[in-house]
Every structure is written in structure tokens, then in C-alpha cells.
Amino acid sequence: AFRATYLSVFLGVGYLGYSIYSEMHPAKQIPQSEKTSVGSKKKTLLILGTGWGAISLLKDLDTSLYNVIVVSPRNYFLFTPLLPSVPTGTIDLKSIVDPVRTIARLTPGEVQYLEAEATDIDTKNKKVTVKHTSQSITPGIVQTTPDDIRKTLDYDYLVIAVGAETNTFNTPGVKEYASYLKEASDAVEVRAKLMQNIEAAQLLPLGSEERNRLMTFTVVGGGPTGVELAAEVKDYIDQDLSKLFPGIEKETTVHLIEALPNVLNSFNKKLIAYSEYVFKKININLSVNTMVQKVDNKNVYAKVKQPNGEFKEIVLPYGVLVWATGNGPRQLIKDLSTQIDAQKTARRGLLVDEFLKLEGTDGVFALGDCTFTKHPPTAQVAHQQGIYLSKLFETMAKVENFEYKIAQEDASPDRDTNKIDRLQRRINRTKQNLVPFVYTHMGALAYVGSERAVADLVWGDWSQISTGGPLTFLFWRTAYVAMCLSIKNKVLICSDWVKISIFGRDCSKE
């Protein structure tokens, strides 16, 4: 047993060393070219997005098989599962960000990245119009150059992985006054607002209405995003800010508002009850059956469903408001679905077939949160779909190469039927890999505060484990590090956790 442990530690350290070395010393890339290795025209694969779906595809793809172009306003991948830890400084933003150029550099073929957003997709003529827009980590530094730079790109294959945006349901006031928690800049903005209010409140008399309002952190939406953010903020106040602002833990209110009777509705009932128990224990103010209908610069206006079925209107003052009520389609996706007959009914996202091919189009694929499928809009799904598509594209490239060789042989004066038959058999064998996408659900995890997490885990087809508590919290941390796509981010995340366990979280506004 001692030898086995010794050997596994040795292999583990060796593997880690090798992974770090490979990330830091990428091999030489095959340049983009007009022709493939067999002489046929090399196809252009245009990927829209640098999120979970697009980056999982890119990382896994043999990029030397296509001329790959990636277009996204965000020049980095964002590890969203730990985004709720950023506003409180538990995790440093840079630890969950990975530049797309670094990721692309590690693939076998040269990849072109363009910092731009797709503004129009013409599936009939296989063209995408893009406009240069930067999506900066710092709020406010989202700019376009004075003269808009626009470009039209041709593609042979297009992958749409543009994700979704936070759905405001057109609730009045949300766009003007609320923050979201979707992008890196949102986390920076939430942090700045939180600290700004706390500092401003120190100038006002203790117990005054305005001071209490400024000290109220309100989250609307009790899905995993809202729950994790409320939990992180409450931890921050209780564990760190209380040491710097004595009594702040009694003064501040963390308020979570959910329209349905429970939070975390996709989780097992036992875990919902456990989460609500933890919230009560750590004093997170939870309002369920409460539908927010309007927001102004200081108040949230909501309708509460009473036990007798009647509705009561309430007004809740807030200092910081974060809107986390789930996903809605981006404008690009809404526009695209109106142009394609087979997408006319696609109100919640693009419709794809079992190979992730966009219904009603040729050569277009879509994945992740911009699609509407039987799977939930999660990183887990987008990640598996990205890997699936990389295999699909590799298989398609192989088949196309064989077909090209057959066409060459057919046209040759010394046409060899045996060779054609052999190639045809290889095509048939390769095509056996063109199988539909199958999603393997590994389970769901959420942090609920006070170093406790909940986990709905699935082991194989037969068993499901629902668990919550401090041990689950350790599992939650391990699982998220494992989920992380780069070794650099894994190391940075772990070092952030070590750092805050020694020094605590800092209270600067930035």
C-alpha cells in the first residue's frame, strides 16, 4: 500500500509537471492554408463565442484540419461556476479568466481570433457580419472605436456558441438600476457598489432609514446564481467585514427574493430544505412566493402570494440590487430565428437536431445556452457539446479527405477500382463515428453559505446521491477545481483559497 501511494503521488506530480510544462511551452502550430494535407480546399470553420461551448470545442479540436476563426467580443474564457465568489474577493477575477489567444496557441493548428461581435448571420450565403466591440473586465470600458470596424466573414462551417443574456422579462427599472452576475464586469460592478454603499453608510446616523437601505444587499432570483451570490456576500460580511466594521453583521441585510415557493427548484427537495435551513441559520432574509414587478433607484416593488392565494403588494428598499432571474436569448439569436422557417417557433433558443446541427440550415451548428434543448442551460452541457462537436468535425474532415481521394482516383486515367473500394470502406467505417450527441449528467452543486454546499450527484445510470454540509463543501471545491479548463487557473484558484484562509478577504473597493 505504501509503494502504491508513493507511486501515485509520483505519477500525480509528474502529470502536473508535464501539464504545466505543456501549457507554458506549446508546440509549433501548423499555419492556416488554402489546401489540406491531401490537396483538397481547406474549409473555414467559424466559431462565434469564447464561452463554455466554444472553448470546449476549440481546446479539443485538431485545429490543423480547418482554417479556424474565433469571433467574440470577449477575448477570454470565463470560468462562470466561481463568478459568485468574485464580488467578495474570495476569488480573484484573474484566477477564473483565461485568454483565448493562450488557449488557441495550445492547439495543433493556427487559429485566428477576432475581437468582435457577430451582428448578422446570413445562412443562405454562408456569411457572418462582425463588428469590433470590446468586452472589458472593467465596467465602463466597453467601447467601440469611433469609426465602427465591420467585416464580413465567409464560412464553410459555422458554430454558434454565443450563450444567453440575463432575462429581465422587461421588468421596469431593471436595466437602469440593477446589476447582473453574468460577465466578469458584472462581478466587478457588484463589488464596487457593495463597498461604496457600506462606506457611504458610515457617514449616516446608526439606525437611520437611509443607512439601513444602503446596507441592504438584495438579489432577485433564487436559482443557483442568486443563492450562491447571497451566500458569498453573507459570508463576507460575517467572516471578514465584521472585523473591520464592528457590528456590521447585525446592521446589513442580505435579501434573496424568489417568485416560486422555493429556491434551487432544480435540486432534490431534501437539499432545498437544507439550503433554506442554512439561510435561516446564517440570517439570509429569504422571501419566497414573491414576484418582483418593478424597480426604481431605491426600492423593489413586489407581489407576495399569501397562503390564502391572494396577493399582497410590498415595497422593499435596497442598497445594491442584483438581478439573477435566468436566461433569455440574445438579439442575434432572435434575429436569426426569424430568418429561418424551421426556427420560427424558437422563442427560448435555437432549435438543433441530435447532431447539434441548426434546424433548417446547411453547415451551421449551435450549442450551449443559445439553444433550446431538453438539457438545462449549464456549463456541463455546453462543455460536453463542445467536445462532441470537436469529434464530429474531425470525423467530417476525415470523410471529406477520403471523398476527395476517391474523386481524384475517379478522374485518374489509371483508375483503380480496388483503391476506390478500400477508400469507400474507410469512409463507411469512419462514418460510424457520426453518432448523435448524448449528454451524461454528472449532477449539480451549489454553495449555500457558511462553508456548506449541496450536491445532487449521479453515479452511473442507477444511483443518485443528495447531500449537503461541510464535507459537501470540500467536495464542491474539489469538483470546481477539477472542472477548470486550465492548469494555471486551477493553481490560481487554490492559491486564492489558501490566501483568504490566512489573510481573510480585503475590503478595498476594487
Return the residues of window 174-193 that contact ligand FAD according to CB under 6 A. 181-182
| Cα separation, 39 vs 41, whole angstroms | 7
Q: Does 468 bind ligand NAI (CB under 6 A)?
A: no
Q: How far is the CB of 179 from ligand NAI (least distance, A)?
A: 13
Min dist CB 125 to ligand NAI, Å, is: 34
Q: What 3-state class would DSSP assign to 167?
A: coil
* 225 touches ligand FAD (CB under 6 A): yes
Contact present, 487 and 20 (Cβ < 8 Å): yes
What part of residues 99-138 is at the interface with ligand FAD (CB under 6 A)?
117-118, 135
Q: Which residue has the cell 470596424?
A: 149
Closest CA to 269 of 452, 451, 461, 468: 468
Report the alpha-carbon distance of residue 151 to residue 130 in Å, rounded.
5
Q: Which three cell numbers stand for residue 365?
A: 451548428
Euclidean distance between CA atoms 472 and 458, whole angstroms:
14
Determine, following the binding rule CB under 6 A, whether residue 223 of this chain makes contact with ligand NAI: yes
Residue at grid coordinates 449528454: 439
Which residue among 45, 161, 272, 364 contacts ligand FAD (CB under 6 A)?
161
Candidates 45, 61, 71, 264; binder of ligand FAD (CB under 6 A) is 71
Q: Which stretch binds ligand NAI (CB under 6 A): 135-143, 259-267, 278-286, 428-436?
A: 259-267
The answer to whether 360 contacts ligand NAI (rule: CB under 6 A) is: no
Q: Which residues pair with 112 in a beta bridge?
A: 69
The entry of ligand FAD, ligand NAI, none near residue 73 (CB within 5 to 8 angstroms by kind) is ligand FAD
Instruction: Determine if 14 is a binding residue for ligand NAI (CB under 6 A).
Output: no
Candidate segments 159-167, 206-214, 303-311, 390-398, binder of ligand FAD by CB under 6 A: 159-167
Q: Does 218 bind ligand NAI (CB under 6 A)?
A: no
Residue closer to ligand FAD by CB (options 248, 263) is 263
Distant-in-sequence contacts of 432-436, Cβ < 8 A, 24+ apart = 433/391, 433/395, 434/355, 434/392, 434/395, 434/396, 434/399, 436/354, 436/355
Site map 242..271 versus ligand FAD, x via CB under 6 A:
------------------------------
Residue 371 DSSP class: B
SS3 207: coil
Opening angle at CA 143, ends 57 and 76, nearest 5: 25
- Among ligand NAI, ligand FAD, none, partner that 329 touches (CB below 5 to 8 angstroms by kind): none
How far is Cα 130 from Cα 72, in angstroms, rounded to an integer?
Answer: 9
DSSP state of 51: S
For ligand NAI, the binding residues (CB under 6 A) are: 169, 171, 220-226, 228, 257-260, 265-266, 291-292, 324-327, 376-378, 444-446
For ligand FAD, the binding residues (CB under 6 A) are: 48-54, 71-74, 80-81, 83-84, 117-118, 135, 161-163, 181-182, 225, 330, 332, 368-370, 377-380, 382
